[in-house]
Amino acid sequence: MKELLRKLVQAETTTANGELAAAKVISDELGRSGITARIDSWDQTRANVIAQVKSPAEGRQAGLQPGRKAAILFACHLDVVGPGEADWKYPPFGGIESDGRIYGRGSADMKGGIAAIVTATRQLVEAGTRLQGDIIFLAAAGEETDSCGAKRFIRDCNWLPGLAGVVIPEPTDFKVVTAHRGMLWLEVTTKGKAAHGSTPQLGVNAISSMRCILDELENYKIPFEPHPAPIERSRASGLGVPKSWSIGSSIGAGLGECSMSINTIAGGKALNVVPDKCSIGIDIRTLPSQNHQDIISDLEKIFGKLKSKNPQFDAKVSVIRGVEPLETDNRCDFVKDFCAAVGTTKTKAVGFTTDGPYFASLGAPVVIFGPGKPELCHKPDEYIEIRDVEKAVEHYKNIILKFLA
């Protein structure tokens, strides 16, 4: 397990490098237990890796036969963000082991989770465990950028058997996460007219137009209904199936508020040229009650107002990336049984975003649960505790046995 994790970190799956090397590591690892994995590769280096551990009842038709159980999909991502500018204690792609930890970019987000589910699956197969439903494993490309791998998997998913649920082994420090905010990344561009810097009256300054937009956005609040705190069972208990579920005290915050932050700006080419283009990047995090299109329409209304004041004003907004919020019903059987399998009664909402909403479109409940501390993600000196990955192996085996044995 440790060696697998180190190899996955060393595969250096940044967007520039692609995921193919890591997909091969996983395919080889599963192959050692006789599990065939399919690598779906495109653009030379991009790759998803997919495996289906079929339960023995072969030759079944569409639909479930009596006694058969719906499958579980474990949906991971292979890619990582870059190491950043800061100095690291250990090389970011060394996969160095120290103090019971594996250090490296992606160790927590989310190669620890991948190593755990691959190891759990291998151990069950090697033990000859008879399952009544299929384990489906996916490690997808591009979660950190455009979700290209998840979209591709969903597009070609006719072969998938019926799913009881989807588990995303992202680092949640073993909290059962059932809700997260959505993400809407927008680019706003103003167009002007270039002129010599000494005769600005002959041009239209795109930076001045952008300043008008920035002034407007300073006072603009995206309307939203506060998200209710998550539902949990009234009293935390140790193990076993909860007898009853009720709306109890909240655990931490719900999804909090919708947020908006202007995080990039670019405009102008030379000191003596009136700029004909300026653009900003806006990062908006949304709640389940919000509609992304409504936010875009609000911005377009602001542009309309500015144009009515100044006919030379010209701006447009485009979507760089949109991921819907995730909200799985905490009262569904899958979530209850999942919580029982991992020995908790609590679910949680988080502020970060995953590929979860794409898998929710399959119509199955989605739960995020895995080893590693979320606060270490995307930071220098990212690491994961080896004993947490070992603990995750046991949890994933218990989850598989709970739903498929």
Which of 53, 377 has the CB closer to Zn ion? 377
Residue 114's Cα: distance from chain center in Å? 14
User: Which member of 9, 73, 110, 168 binds Zn ion (CB under 5 A)?
Assistant: 110
Q: What are phi and psi of 105, to 5 degrees?
A: -65, 125
Long-range contacts, 304-309 (Cβ 8 Å, 24+): 305/216, 306/209, 306/212, 306/213, 306/216
Cβ 19 to Zn ion shortest distance, Å? 13
Cβ 245 to Zn ion shortest distance, Å? 29
Binding mask 113-152 for Zn ion (x = CB under 5 A): ----------------------------------------
Which of 55, 353 has the CB closer to Zn ion? 353
Q: Which residues contact 37 (CB under 8 A, 6 or more apart)?
A: 26, 27, 30, 31, 49, 50, 51, 137
316's enclosing H/E stretch is strand 315-323
Footprint (CB under 5 A) of Zn ion, residues 297-356: none
Cβ neighbours around 78 below 10 Å, total: 30
Q: Which residues contact 89 (CB under 8 A, 6 or more apart)?
A: 103, 380, 381
Which of 109, 232 has the CB closer to Zn ion? 109
Considering only 18-26, 166-174, 288-296, 368-376, which stretch makes contact with Zn ion by CB under 5 A?
166-174
Cβ 191 to Zn ion shortest distance, Å? 36
Which of 187, 381 has the CB closer to Zn ion? 381
Which of 113, 133 has the CB closer to Zn ion? 113
Considering only 104-112, 219-227, 310-318, 335-343, which stretch makes contact with Zn ion by CB under 5 A?
104-112
- Chain residue at closest Cβ approach to Zn ion: 109
Cβ 184 to Zn ion shortest distance, Å? 19
Which of 152, 336 has the CB closer to Zn ion? 152
Find out whether 157 and 362 touch, Cβ atoms under 8 Å: yes
Q: What are phi and psi of 356, to 5 degrees?
A: -45, -45
10: Cα within 13 Å, side-chain hemisphere: 13
Considering only 14-22, 105-113, 151-159, 277-285, which stretch makes contact with Zn ion by CB under 5 A?
105-113
Q: How far apart are CA 144 and CA 354, in angstroms?
A: 9
Considering only 165-173, 181-189, 192-200, 203-211, which stretch makes contact with Zn ion by CB under 5 A?
165-173
**Do β-strands 326-327 and 177-180 pair in parallel, antiparallel, or remain unpaired?**
antiparallel
Which of 180, 227 has the CB closer to Zn ion? 180
Cβ 272 to Zn ion shortest distance, Å? 45
**Residue 109 within binding range of Zn ion, rule CB under 5 A:** yes
Cβ 102 to Zn ion shortest distance, Å? 16
Find out whether 403 and 340 touch, Cβ atoms under 8 Å: no
Which of 231, 326 has the CB closer to Zn ion? 326
Which of 174, 220 has the CB closer to Zn ion? 174
Cβ 17 to Zn ion shortest distance, Å? 17
Cβ 113 to Zn ion shortest distance, Å? 8
Q: What are phi and psi of 340, to 5 degrees?
A: -60, -40
Which of 71, 110 has the CB closer to Zn ion? 110
Q: How far apart are CA 372 and CA 171, in angstroms?
A: 5
Considering only 149-157, 161-169, 170-178, 310-318, which stretch makes contact with Zn ion by CB under 5 A?
170-178
Distances (CA, A) of 98 to 4, 128, 388: 16, 34, 14
Distances (CA, A) of 208 to 51, 135, 214, 268, 338: 54, 57, 10, 11, 55
Q: Total binding residues for Zn ion by CB under 5 A? A: 3
**Residue 382 within binding range of Zn ion, rule CB under 5 A:** no
Binding site for Zn ion (CB under 5 A): 109-110, 170
